[in-house]
Structure 1
Amino acid sequence: MSQSGGHVVIVGAGHAGGTAAALLRQYGHEGPITMIGEEPIPPYQRPPLSKAWLKGEADADSLALKPLEFYGEHGIDFRASVTATALNRGAKTVALSDGSSVSYDTLILATGARAIALPIEGKDLAGIMFLRTAADAEALKATVGPGKTLAVVGGGYIGLEVAASGRALGAEVVVLEREERILARVACEALSDFFTAYHEKQGVTFELGCSVTGFEGKDGHVTGVKLADGRVIACDAVVVGVGAHPNDELAKDAGLDCARGVVVDLDARSVSDPNVFAIGDVAHRPMPVYERMFRMESVPNALEQAKQAASAIVGRPRPAGECPWQWSDQYDLKLQIAGYAFDVDEILVRGDPASAKFAVFHLKGDQVQSVEAINSPPEFMMGKLLILNRKPVDKAKLADPSISMKEVAA
């Protein structure tokens, strides 16, 4: 049903919220649009924060999804430095932190996720940072450099990207990881081993299987990270990257169905309220390829769900389903990941990791569930098709890099 004349309120001005606002106008929505953003700047690309921004190669203007004038020119009321504090679904109003409230016909929740803080001694010392916003990246950039030591708590993709950027800025970097290998929760052992060796070549130090129990400081600023074995890792700054939690409290308090994220359907519409949508990191969404529900934290997911919600609101046909994907840039490495390694019973490596050009395929029987491709665009592109089409694959051909991926996927 088209709701194209009503007032659409978007809570959250990140990649998902900003894209939804622009798409609504592109798709012909003629009613008012209000976008609520907690940051002082308009929506921007977040992935470069851990890379280009830290290295001084990008700023707020170059990363903006649209110039600030775009919103005024297209009748989008962008309210910066404001948060939503309460949602009244009966009255269809959103209370805001500046004391005002806004009424809606359709609501899009694009509130994203927040970095998980460690509830340990010294957690409030200056110099302990997260990397979710432009302000976070700016603070980190001002802190690290030659003669400084950066401690990164968490050996996931964000932690490794920060480590690579820290080295590019001339800082010493130590990565502290609770598991026995980096990327333990998101990648296979072959990929963990490859990235560990590659980072070590660039001068990064790893402390694996270690538990962080607290932070030490002097004059209110962090000076070290305390480990369970009694050691203290001296540092000038800390970035904590141990995961994120969806900002779904607004939805929960309003009685919307949540499962570590707002539960939505294939239109990104809340299963509890037809007038409410949730997109991006805050949404717990269907994944038809895997016949399950899941919450994804990626830019491609934010864009796909923005399209779903905008299409449903203006009465356009539902967009075709996509294969989930994400990426990570570290040094001269481009890692592209398609799909998720659910229910995998075999892992197949195509190419030679020593060449820094290879791909890891995760298989369930003769179907590709996921592919992690290092500097290997054909493996990534064809892998996406194989995952989306649920097409059986010839494992012998897949394992032979002399056979083109086009032939493998044919």
Structure 2
Amino acid sequence: MSDETYVVVGGGLAGGSAAATLREEGFDGAVVLVTVEDRPPYERPVLSKGYMLGSEKESSAYLHDSGWWSDHDIDLRTETMVTGVRLEDRVLELEDGGSLAYDKLLLATGSWPRRIEVPGADLDGVLYLRDMPEAERIRAAIEAGGPLVIVGAGWIGLEIAAAARTHGVAVTVLETATLPLQRVLGDRVAEVFASLHRHHGVDLRLGSGVAQIRGDGGSVTSVVTSEGEEVPAAAVVVAIGAAPQSDWGQAAGLSGDPGIDTDASLRTSDVAVWAAGDIAAVDNPRLGRRVRVEHWAMAHDSGPVAARSMLGQDVTFDKLPFFFTDQYDLGMEYVGHVEDVDETEVVVRGDADPAGPLAFQAFWLRDEVVQAAMHVNMWDDGVDPLEALVGRRVDAGRLGDRGVPLADL
């Protein structure tokens, strides 16, 4: 039996799946899983999707039931905050003044929502979404009937808007860009999402920010926009992006900014430390560059790879970034990675007319090489033929011609 201790910091999908993989791969030393949350590891996409809609229960988010961890001899330490690491001593420092020694360490601390800094940001009813208790508060605000103001038209903001509208709640979305998801998708495809939400009754205000949040008795009553207009609000959901929780790792000397740099096996600049999930900036051999993404698939895929790497197996993380969304009757899958959408040519194949039934594929090309691809409501083909094109040089004209099978490109 091994006398080594492997510590995993982070109770999300990346950390939880890594700890489970260590046992599945036969490691019989000590496994300690540390999480700041008060519950076992769970997945987060359900929080803004099925759970917010009311179609999925809280229990569907958990990787395993609460007893599974002790049954597999994993020391699950909830409500435990790590504040630092002494790399030379291989010791974690804890908020309560204690410490935790390790032989090998996996950082899977994830990311936390960026906070809004305006007058009234501390009022009751200003909400963020990252963990289960926050999801419960947002869902309660939706069930209470609103009205709801959402700050930010990224994936999280739009998914919450869709859930709220599905429940008949009045929703106003404030976005400083001229289109939702503009920095990710570019104007052509972003227009589809703008039209979709307006069609479903969202008051989508583009090029508009927040000047102030007003309240009465400590609770939110309205939002004052950057144009000076007051919008009624029983709750405000702030969804303006996230920041990787890598500060104490960087302070200890691990390279990376933002996040923690890793090689293709997810090992960091310290020989005894690995990183996975949102914080890992991975030298991805398939993409030929370092990439850090904050999506479910990254956590799902990188946690087990990191665990196997810790065990000395010859593994490489070469997965393409992948994410998905469900909003009203729009279902989408996206694969690949675009660093600067303004430097790409967007090719659309199919019906992307917001006035009609949406069913199309979109491709982002740079120098005729496919950087990323997505489909909307084309489930018969799915994402596999799109993934096969990422990284390949194609003719844009043939790519946009529905008469040319993707397999022939």
TM-score range, shorter chain: over 0.9
C-alpha displacement at 1:120, in angstroms? 1.1
Cα deviations by residue, 1:182-228 (Å, 9 ceiling, x for unpaired) = 11211121221111111111111111101211211110011111122
Cα distance in structure 2, aligned partners of 1:197 and 1:77: 49
2:360 counterpart letter in structure 1: F
Can you give the 5+ residue segments of structure 1 that lack an aligned partner in the other structure? none
Which residue of structure 2 lines up, in the alignment, with residue 204 of structure 1? 202
Question: Which runs of structure 1 show a deviation greater than 3 angstroms over 4 or more consecutive aligned residues?
Answer: 342-345, 394-397
Which residue of structure 2 lines up, in the alignment, with residue 364 of structure 1? 366
Cα distance in structure 1, aligned partners of 2:145 and 2:19: 44
Cα distance in structure 2, aligned partners of 1:4 and 1:194: 55
Matched, 1:310 2:307: yes
Instruction: Flag the 1:237–1:137 CA change in 2: closer, same or farther, 3 A.
Output: same
Q: Contact 2:302–2:317 (CA<8 Å) still a contact in 1?
A: no
Secondary structure (helix, strand or coil) at the match of 1:163 reads helix
1:376 to 360, 375, 378: 378
C-alpha displacement at 1:10, in angstroms? 0.6
Matches within 5 A, 1:110-189: 110-145=108-143, 147-189=145-187
Which residue of structure 2 lines up, in the alignment, with residue 53 of structure 1? 51
Cα distance in structure 1, aligned partners of 2:339 and 2:209: 28
Cα deviations by residue, 1:71-97 (Å, 9 ceiling, x for unpaired) = 111111001111112212122111223
Cα distance in structure 2, aligned partners of 1:67 and 1:347: 44
Matched, 1:333 2:330: yes
Q: Contact 2:221–2:233 (CA<8 Å) still a contact in 1?
A: yes
TM-score, with length taken from structure 1:
0.94
Matches within 5 A, 1:1-400: 6-145=4-143, 147-271=145-269, 273-319=270-316, 321-342=318-339, 344-354=343-353, 355-377=357-379, 378=381, 380-387=383-390, 390-400=391-401
Aligned-residue sequence identity (percent) comes to: 34
Q: Contact 1:372–1:380 (CA<8 Å) still a contact in 2?
A: yes
C-alpha displacement at 1:398, in angstroms? 2.0
1:395 counterpart letter in structure 2: A
1:401 counterpart letter in structure 2: R
Cα distance in structure 2, aligned partners of 1:57 and 1:248: 34
Cα distance in structure 2, aligned partners of 1:319 and 1:397: 34
Of the structure 1 ranges 321-330 and 138-147, higher mean CA displacement relative to structure 2 is found in: 138-147
C-alpha displacement at 1:125, in angstroms? 0.3
Q: Contact 1:152–1:159 (CA<8 Å) still a contact in 2?
A: yes
Q: Contact 1:25–1:74 (CA<8 Å) still a contact in 2?
A: yes
C-alpha displacement at 1:320, in angstroms? 5.9
Of the structure 1 ranges 128-137 and 311-320, higher mean CA displacement relative to structure 2 is found in: 311-320
C-alpha displacement at 1:48, in angstroms? 1.0
Cα deviations by residue, 1:89-123 (Å, 9 ceiling, x for unpaired) = 12211122344321100011111111000111111
Q: Contact 1:117–1:240 (CA<8 Å) still a contact in 2?
A: yes
Cα distance in structure 1, aligned partners of 2:220 and 2:233: 7
Cα distance in structure 2, aligned partners of 1:136 and 1:320: 32
Instruction: Flag the 1:146–1:11 CA change in 2: closer, same or farther, 3 A.
Output: closer
Cα distance in structure 2, aligned partners of 1:293 and 1:321: 11
Cα deviations by residue, 1:255-298 (Å, 9 ceiling, x for unpaired) = 21121111111111112x10011111111221333322222101
Cα distance in structure 1, aligned partners of 2:178 and 2:398: 33
Cα distance in structure 2, aligned partners of 1:403 and 1:146: 50
Cα distance in structure 1, aligned partners of 2:56 and 2:339: 36
Can you give the 5+ residue segments of structure 2 that lack an aligned partner in the other structure? none
C-alpha displacement at 1:43, in angstroms? 0.9
Cα distance in structure 1, aligned partners of 2:41 and 2:56: 15
Secondary structure (helix, strand or coil) at the match of 2:256 reads coil
Cα deviations by residue, 1:362-391 (Å, 9 ceiling, x for unpaired) = 11233211112111242632111221xx33
Secondary structure (helix, strand or coil) at the match of 2:281 reads strand
Secondary structure (helix, strand or coil) at the match of 2:180 reads coil
1:374 counterpart letter in structure 2: V
Instruction: Flag the 1:349–1:93 CA change in 2: closer, same or farther, 3 A.
Output: same
Secondary structure (helix, strand or coil) at the match of 2:51 reads coil
2:385 counterpart letter in structure 1: M
Of the structure 1 ranges 5-14 and 31-40, higher mean CA displacement relative to structure 2 is found in: 5-14
Q: Provide the alpha-carbon RMSD of the alignment.
A: 1.8
Cα distance in structure 1, aligned partners of 2:54 and 2:100: 38
Cα distance in structure 1, aligned partners of 2:33 and 2:53: 30
Secondary structure (helix, strand or coil) at the match of 1:33 reads strand
Cα deviations by residue, 1:229-253 (Å, 9 ceiling, x for unpaired) = 2111111111100100111112022
